Amino acid sequence: MPDMDAAVLRSTDPIAVEQVELTDPGQGEVLIKIEACGVCHSDLHWINNFRNDTLPAGIAKPSAAILGHEVAGIVEEIGPNVSAVAPGDHVIVGFRPNCGGNCHFCIRGTPWLCERPDNPDRAYTGGSPRLSQDGVPIMQGVGVGGFSEYTVMPERAAIKIRNDAPLETVCLIGCGVTTGIGAAINTAKIEAGSDVAVIGIGGVGLNVVQGARLAGARKIIAVDMMDNKLDMAADFGATHFVNASEGDPVEKVRDLANGYLDYAFEAIGLGATCRQAFDMVRDGGTAVVVGVVGDDITVPGRAFLREKKLIGSFYGSNSLHTDIPKLVDLYMDGRIKVDELISKRRPLSEINEAFEDMLAGEVARSVLHPSGL
């Protein structure tokens, strides 16, 4: 594999496009030419943890990392013993592959909790032997290293999709779409007619909104501090809107649901908004934590006597090989919105600007094009 361009993160400098080396695909691996990679909030979390030296305990900090995990591309080459995909196949990358039946969680049908992903070193925090520069290893952040021209992934992470789906758009099904719609449909299993609130209207929150719409929710209450985000939520199916900067959102949501909110989703990753979600729901109702949270969630224990539930959702509780092609079909049939999530497309060289847009709250999603626009 010749050297390729990639956006390299270091501790202090802005991210810069540099030449890096990628190994050829090994046993059970595939080389994917990346057509497009969405810029997700988790990438920003990861950058902050890297720069502030707050990577989880036990993880040796590498000198550099390549982020990006919301990827669609084309299989360029396969390693030995690969049978699921062939060169030329269009694929969406699953950033957390699963073993497919060799662990407790895959056997019981919950592969998103797989304990033995094909390459454990690809997990959120892991290092990667595949990327390097002048012999010095570079970490594949969030397991993919999508802000580059190519990636090498295990075949179980390369999810084959139909050839007529636009890769530059369906890349978002690699993370934000699947995480949000899956939280509503797979994790919470919203029943038709339910009343639902979604706190945090970013790329994931908008997808929880459209997941709630697909499930047939009655009221879908969008909660955010920015009116432009609430306007977007309307396009995705929200029926009611609460600007959280204008008074107590818990009280407002409860009023809108007449005191009986069935589900609240937290799509930011803050302890305070998790508490709001829990406080909003009715007795017996469910608060779903979708955001990447720390350990600072506190809820009143007495609420459990009234059967209130606080649950987590990881990667939309999705089974990559069935759910990703299904979401692609729903998009191609016009039943979910994906184009509307993309506020900006940029070449890889504008990666820093893409993160600035994210910080300013100006975009739902930016998409980077490593091989040019």
The residue ranges that bind Zn ion (CB under 5 A) are: 40, 42, 175
Spot the catalytic one: 37, 41, 42, 106.
Answer: 42
Is-catalytic flag, 42? yes
Spot the catalytic one: 175, 317, 319, 366.
Answer: 175
Distance, CA of 68 to CA of 205 (rounded, Å): 19
Q: How far is the CB of 250 from ligand CXF (least distance, A)?
A: 26
Interface with ligand CXF, residue 253, by CB under 6 A: no
Query: Nearer to Zn ion by C-beta: 84 or 171?
Result: 171
Residue 304 CB burial class (10 angstroms; 0-12, 13-18, ≥19): exposed
Query: Nearer to Zn ion by C-beta: 348 or 358?
Result: 358
Spot the catalytic one: 37, 41, 69, 128.
Answer: 69
**Binding residue for ligand CXF, selected from 59, 103, 226, 292, defined by CB under 6 A:** 292
Q: Which pairing describes strands 309-312 and 342-347: parallel, antiparallel, or unpaired? A: unpaired
Token reading at 26? 């090994």
Q: How far is the CB of 347 from Zn ion (least distance, A)?
A: 21
Interface with ligand CXF, residue 66, by CB under 6 A: no
Residue 124 interacting partner from ligand CXF, Zn ion, none (CB closer than 5 to 8 Å by kind): ligand CXF
Is-catalytic flag, 41? no
Q: How far is the CB of 43 from ligand CXF (least distance, A)?
A: 8
Q: How far is the CB of 40 from ligand CXF (least distance, A)?
A: 5
Q: How far is the CB of 242 from Zn ion (least distance, A)?
A: 25
CA distances for 328 relative to 211, 323, 325, angstroms: 14, 9, 5
Spot the catalytic one: 37, 40, 106, 171.
Answer: 40
Total residues found in the chain within this entry: 373
- Dihedral angle over CA of 277, 190, 99, 37, nearest 10: -70
Residue carrying structure tokens 């012999």: 135
Kindly write out the interface string for residues 22-51 of this chain, putting x where it contacts ligand CXF by CB under 6 A and - elsewhere.
Answer: ------------------x-x---------
SS (H, E, C) 299-358: CCHHHHHHCCEEEECCHHHCCHHHHHHHHHHHHHCCCCCCHHHEEEEEEHHHHHHHHHHH
Query: Nearer to ligand CXF by C-beta: 152 or 204?
Result: 204
Per-residue DSSP letter, 7: E
Q: Which residues on adjacent β-strands are paired with residue 158?
A: 93
Is-catalytic flag, 45? yes
Distance, CA of 51 to CA of 13 (rounded, Å): 10
Is-catalytic flag, 37? no
Interface with ligand CXF, residue 179, by CB under 6 A: yes
Is-catalytic flag, 194? no
Query: Nearer to ligand CXF by C-beta: 208 or 256?
Result: 208
Query: Nearer to ligand CXF by C-beta: 124 or 236?
Result: 124
Query: Nearer to ligand CXF by C-beta: 148 or 318?
Result: 318
Q: How far is the CB of 81 from Zn ion (least distance, A)?
A: 29
Interface with ligand CXF, residue 313, by CB under 6 A: no
Interface with ligand CXF, residue 55, by CB under 6 A: no
Residue 356's CB is within 10 A of a number of other CB atoms, namely 13
Per-residue DSSP letter, 9: B
Considering CB under 6 A, how many residues would be counted as binding ligand CXF?
Answer: 7
Residue 142 interacting partner from ligand CXF, Zn ion, none (CB closer than 5 to 8 Å by kind): ligand CXF
Residue 186 interacting partner from ligand CXF, Zn ion, none (CB closer than 5 to 8 Å by kind): none
3-state secondary structure of 161: coil
Contacts with ligand CXF in 186-245 (CB under 6 A)?
Answer: none
Per-residue DSSP letter, 186: I
Q: Residues in the site for ligand CXF, rule: CB under 6 A?
A: 40, 42, 124, 142, 175, 179, 292
So which residues are the catalytic ones? 40, 42, 45, 69, 175
